[in-house]
């Protein structure tokens, strides 16, 4: 069964935006990625609104399900690519600017760690 033309057009737009995001991730250009991901977000919102207006029979279309699964798989791959790029950039930043390394815990003052900070709430402690 063929998809309605408005659904076909919306799917094609989402697929095109997914491809543009993939190209932007590979290029590593942040401004391209911002523009492409913004366009993908808008296309996804538009497609989601369109899906709510479809009949139950149209939603069960095998071609529609297959293409949506393909888009979801592509976006999962993009997510992994973004995570890998984030790690790469973080490591490079730590090498270039060591001050960007954040410490998880406070610096130890003595052999048992740092002393706790007083908040000023309790003036006297009694046991």
Q: List pLDDT tens digits, range 37-88.
A: 999 999 999 999 998 888 888 888 888 889 999 999 999 999 998 999 888 8
pLDDT digits (tens, 9 = 90+) for 6-28: 888 999 999 999 999 999 988 88
* Domain annotation covers residue 33: yes
Residue 22 belongs to some domain of the structure: yes
Interatomic CA distance for residues 22 and 5, integer angstroms: 26
| Residue written as token pair 């998880």 | 104
Domain that holds residue 41: 5-100
pLDDT for position 45: 94
Number of domains within the chain: 1
Closest by Cα among 73, 67, 86, 68 to 25:
86
Check residue 7 and give its pLDDT.
87
Whole-Å CA distances, 117 to 58, 106, 114, 122 = 63, 11, 9, 12
| Domain presence at residue 110 | no
Q: Tell me if the pTM is above 0.85.
A: no
Q: Is residue 114 part of a domain?
A: no
């Amino acid at each position: 069964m063929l998809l309605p033309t408005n659904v076909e057009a919306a799917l094609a737009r989402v697929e095109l935006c997914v491809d543009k995001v993939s190209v932007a991730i590979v290029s590593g250009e942040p401004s391209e990625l911002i523009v492409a991901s913004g366009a993908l977000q808008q296309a996804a919102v538009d497609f989601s609104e369109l899906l709510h207006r479809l009949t139950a029979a149209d939603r069960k279309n095998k071609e529609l399900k297959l293409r949506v699964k393909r888009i979801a798989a592509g976006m999962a791959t993009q997510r992994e690519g973004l995570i890998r790029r984030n790690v790469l950039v973080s490591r490079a930043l730590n090498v270039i600017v060591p001050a960007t390394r954040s410490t998880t815990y406070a610096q130890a003052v003595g052999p048992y760690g740092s002393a706790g900070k007083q908040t000023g709430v309790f003036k006297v402690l009694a046991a």
